[in-house]
Structure 1
Amino acid sequence: MAGYADDLALAHLLADTADTISTARFRALDLHVESKPDLTPVSDADTAVESAIRSTLARARPRDGVLGEEYGASVAGSGNRRWIIDPIDGTKNFVRGVPVWGTLIALMEGDLPVAGLVSAPALGRRWWGAKGHGAYAGRHQRAASRIRVSAVNRLADASVCYSSLTGWEESGRLEPMLDILRQAWRSRAYGDFYGYMLLAEGAVDVMVEPELSLWDVAALVPIVTEAGGRITDLQGRVDPSGGSAIATNGHLHADMLDRLSAGKP
């Protein structure tokens, strides 16, 4: 199958570069960490990874635009393709020595993410998918298995992932979120990319997040959807720039939307 095969191959090469840089800086005694204007941390690994990815894209895809968390947007050519980069998703984990962090790489055509890759070198695992290609997980391209969401169709039987309760409180949806957690079979706050990847693998059934940016979610969309799942914002829009996310195995999506949109515009 052609389609986005070349783009996925490039994404793997970009991830190889990112993994080399980030792994060398993980738990480094001289890791340099600063606070951005929004008070979130950024390490020298974040900036080094994004710089390296941008450099490769400038050579390999000079006509494509790029949007990254650390260096913003750059426009190249006149096409509708752009790469969305989160150099280290889970920076707070990274700087504290927690191994749940990864590089997120997405390709968008217009407003639609068509290919995505998540590489978590400290976990020894990658996930990737592209429109019409399916979704896969493994240590690398040659050691991968196709992944699929679960068939759970009741909240009482579901394992639910969520981000911090502080975010849900700030969104005004803390009580509906707590009700979901009370009624679910199991709940865990894995957070960041990891909950979505567990969803795509069928290990959990719901992942919800009240606040995120395009680079937090763009790479996740093709993986979740090609694994048979569904991902929207809290208003039910299929819009990765919507600022929030509900990802499910599909069976539970309408129920989650109803519960979390109660009393909200």
Structure 2
Amino acid sequence: MPAYDRERTVAFRAVQTAAELCQSVRADLDGDVMEKDDRTPVTVADFGSQAVICKALRDAFPDDPVIGEEDSSALRADANADVRAHLLEEVRAHHPDVNPGLVFDWIDHGTDAGYSERFWTLDPIDGTKGFVRGDQYAIALALIVDGRPQVAALCCPHLPSAIDADPPASRGQAFLAVRGEGTVQQPLTPDTDAVPTPIQTSGTTDPSESRFCESFVSSHSSHDLAAQAGERLGITADSIRIDSQAKYAIVARGEADIYLRLPRPDSPDYTERIWDHAAGALAVEAAGGTVTDMHGTPLDFTHGRLLEANTGVVATNGPVHDEVIEALAAAQA
């Protein structure tokens, strides 16, 4: 039995449940969008996803801390009573006897902040703006052991089975990875005959033949620096523009070769959050790719909630990685 077989199974079932909740919320999203202190949106689905995933993790691995993005503090305010009621309705679809206090406890099980030798990190909805817009988003869960992601369940509830073939029935894919064992793509369909498919990054070796996968929202990364690096590499192919950690999935299954998350000129000291990258990074690495920061340094998950030792993120198919790092350095010289 693989060393992390149980963790992978629990993680997949947890994100699958969260995806059902999120899709239910999105089908009837009507004003339940709050704004956090950093001006980013948060919805019933963010809270509900964190609640059901943290419950599953606490039941299966009670000693494992969870570093998640959300907490229940805003939900407790009288002004958010309607959001709280909607959240309870959605969670009760999966856990009928739950009460508000227990839902808050499940959410706050994901509020650990410090580093542990073994812990989970969770982004209950990565790409909330895409979720609200009816576009791509991801549910990203990863197990970190000794500072390295070892298990990932990256769930993309609106992503088709292939980027250039979009039958509605194929939307909803999970990308499951265990370090050293590869990455598989697993449909979210309840069809018991659906089998996971091993995926690999592309075999592109000439950087000029590469294709970028970029953020749909330009404020998430420095597109100018990426364009300068692309020009130095001779890249002419149109980029794939998509929300969330689904970009990692696109690189992992070989539909793009390079994903850059670079500091913007107006926030050069921004530090990435671990939940924004842990699951996606492992999905790419286990599929044969390489993920570092923009200086070629491996991502360091030993600093709690932040990637404090890293600047930006570069994910590639592997063969072109060194040349991408060199192009970024030259573009900044």
On the 8 A contact 2:229/2:331 being kept in 1, the answer is no
Residue 128 of structure 1: aligned partner: 176
Structure 2 CA distance for aligned equivalents of residues 243 and 60 of structure 1: 34
Mean CA deviation greater in 64-73 or 2-11:
64-73
Deviation at 1:175, TM superposition (A): 5.6
Q: Distance in 1 between matches of 2:146 and 2:173?
A: 29
Distance of 1:167 and 1:121 partners within structure 2: 21
Q: Which moved more, 1:144-153 or 1:159-168?
A: 159-168
From 109, 113, 116, the equivalent of 2:152 is: 116
Consecutive unaligned residues of structure 1, counting only runs of 5 or more, are: none
Cα deviation, residue 62, structure 1? 0.9
* Separation (CA, whole Å) in 2 of partners of 1:173 and 1:48: 37
What is the identity, as a one-letter code, of the residue corresponding to 1:95? V
How far apart are residue 27 of structure 1 and its match? 3.6
The offset of 1:160, in angstroms, is 1.2
Which among 228, 242, 247 is matched to residue 190 of structure 1? 242
Task: Name the SS of the counterpart of 1:88 in structure 2.
Answer: strand
| Letter matched to residue 149 of structure 1 | T
Displacement of 1:165 in angstroms is: 4.1
Match of 1:90 in 2: 127
TM-score by length of 2: 0.72
The 3 A distance-change label for structure 1 pair 29 and 43 is: closer
- Partner deviation per Cα, 1:120-150 (whole Å, 9 max, x = no partner): 2233211110112211003059521100111
CA deviation digits over 1:102-126, x for unaligned, max 9?
A: 2111000121111101112233211
Structure 2: stretches of 5+ with no match in the other structure: 72-109, 159-170, 264-271, 301-306
Amino acid at match of 1:49: S
Q: How does 1:41-56 map to 2 (within 5 A)?
A: 41-56=41-56
**Alignment match, 1:246:** 314
Look up the equivalent residue of 1:176 and give its one-letter code: Q
Counterpart-to-counterpart distance in 2, 1:247 and 1:75? 25
1:219-238 mapped onto 2 (5 Å cutoff): 219-238=279-298
User: Computing the radius of gyration over CA atoms, which structure comes out larger, 1 or 2?
Assistant: 2
Identical aligned pairs, as a percentage? Answer: 28
- Where in structure 2 are the equivalents of 1:160-179 lying within 5 Å? 160-163=212-215, 164-169=217-222, 173=225, 176-177=228-229, 179=231
The one-letter code sitting in structure 2 at the alignment partner of 1:113 is P
Deviation string 1:56-113 (CA, Å, 9 cap, x unpaired) is: 222211111100011363279x962111100011100111122x11211100012111
Name the CA distance, whole Å, in 2 between partners of 1:56 and 1:207. Answer: 31
Please identify which structure carries the higher strand content.
Answer: 1
For 1:86, give the aligned amino acid.
Answer: D
**Offset from partner CA, 1:187-228 (integer Å, 9 cap, x none):** 222242122111111111111112542101101122111110
**CA deviation after TM superposition for structure 1 residue 183, in Å:** 2.7
CA RMSD of aligned residues (A): 2.5
Task: Give the one of 92, 95, 101 matched to 2:137.
Answer: 101
Secondary structure, in 3 states, of the residue corresponding to 2:247? helix
Match of 1:159 among 196, 211, 215: 211
8 Å Cα contact 2:233/2:327 also seen in 1 = no
2:34/2:42 contact within 8 Å kept: yes
The residue aligned with 2:3 is: 3
Relative to structure 1, the CA distance from residue 22 to residue 29 in structure 2 (aligned partners, 3 Å threshold; closer, same or farther) is closer
